[in-house]
Amino acid sequence: MGYRVVVAGATGNVGREMLNILSERHFPVDELAVLASRKSLGTEVSFGEKTLKTTDLDTFDFTGWDIALFAVGSEATKQYAPKAAKAGCIVIDNSSLYRYDPDVPLIVPEVNADAITGYSKKNIIANPNCSTAQMVVALKPLHDRATIKRVVVSTYQSVSGAGKEGIDELWDQTKSIYNPVDDKPARKFTKQIAFNVIPHIDAFMDSGETKEEWKMVAETKKIVDPSIKVTATCVRVPVFVGHSEAVNIEFEDHLDEDEAREILREAPGVMVIDKREDGGYVTPVECVGDFATFISRIRQDSTIDNGLNLWCVSDNLRKGAALNAVQIAELLGNRVLQKG
């Protein structure tokens, strides 16, 4: 006996990836509803070998459905997630709306699976920000061994993090560079993204940091440990899929780079590719379509007493969004619903 599952936002990049991963991981689905906004009604999406037509999110009745994976953005989530939760359908939300709500668990299953029990307060579980998700998978096993004091992270985030419009803008601008009569000005991004990098993701805050940077701070504290100090600089780069991060970690206790490498090799969801030779590391192009978070360039930071540097790469549409949501659904099934 399986689950009755809803995917809301099924025509978007993350929604389509959710359907792919539900199929790839053989999630026990008895019945599947694919929902979209009215402008996308009737659009066909794939689930394994099946082709499904989307139905209207606005009129959908969530009564009798077990799990709803939401990939519709904060505004639509604010309207429809409470409706689904009230109807008894557990919402796993990919937007930022509920991440900082103390009554809503924010979960990365490899890191804080036990937090799943908190779902019952609102019948809602939050999925973290894409850049946070991959980082905390690497931080948690190291924190368990040597206690992290401070993290300094610089991100190199792909345009798919900004949705289909971001992907289209990079594609169109890249082509236009070689065609002088075909100018493609910045629309989705604040400056040209082709052959450029932009140190600005999400809105600026009074502190001078962007909302994306603030998210990484707040979410790491909620998921891993509130005592960890985090500072982030988030940068958009001309890569289609795959976020990269240069992470500097300061520990309470000494942690040798060789021991850190072995700890990460054994950590769930992590793949260590770390050879000190040409090509002995992972880049975003190589991580696309993979479930793992890849760690490379592990080395001691000699400028502080207990410091390490590492390079972290992951498919942001997978671990940063769709995969993590499906893993939460699996965790929910195994620990709470126990139907599949």
94 is in an annotated binding site: no
157 is in an annotated binding site: yes
236 is in an annotated binding site: yes
152 is in an annotated binding site: no
221 is in an annotated binding site: no
73 is in an annotated binding site: no
Our CA dihedral for 293, 294, 299, 302, rounded to 10 degrees, sits at -40
Sign of CA dihedral 136, 74, 242, 155: negative
- For 210-226, what is the HEC assignment? EHHHHHHHHHHHHHCCC
Q: Are 137 and 267 in contact (CB under 8 A)?
A: yes
13 is in an annotated binding site: yes
74 is in an annotated binding site: no
- Rounded distance, CA 151 to CA 147, Å? 11
37 is in an annotated binding site: no
Would you please indicate which residues are annotated as catalytic (active-site) residues? 130, 243
40 is in an annotated binding site: yes
Residue 223 Cα to chain centre, angstroms? 13
- Rounded distance, CA 106 to CA 116, Å? 9
The token pair at 31 is 């019945």
- For 90-134, what is the HEC assignment? EEEECCCCCCCCCCCCECCHHHHHHHHHHHHHCCEEECCCHHHHH
150 is in an annotated binding site: no
Residue ranges of the annotated binding site for substrate are: 157, 236
Residue ranges of the annotated binding site are: 11-14, 39-40, 99, 157, 160-161, 180, 236, 316
Residue ranges of the annotated binding site for phosphate are: 99
Residue ranges of the annotated binding site for NADP(+) are: 11-14, 39-40, 160-161, 180, 316
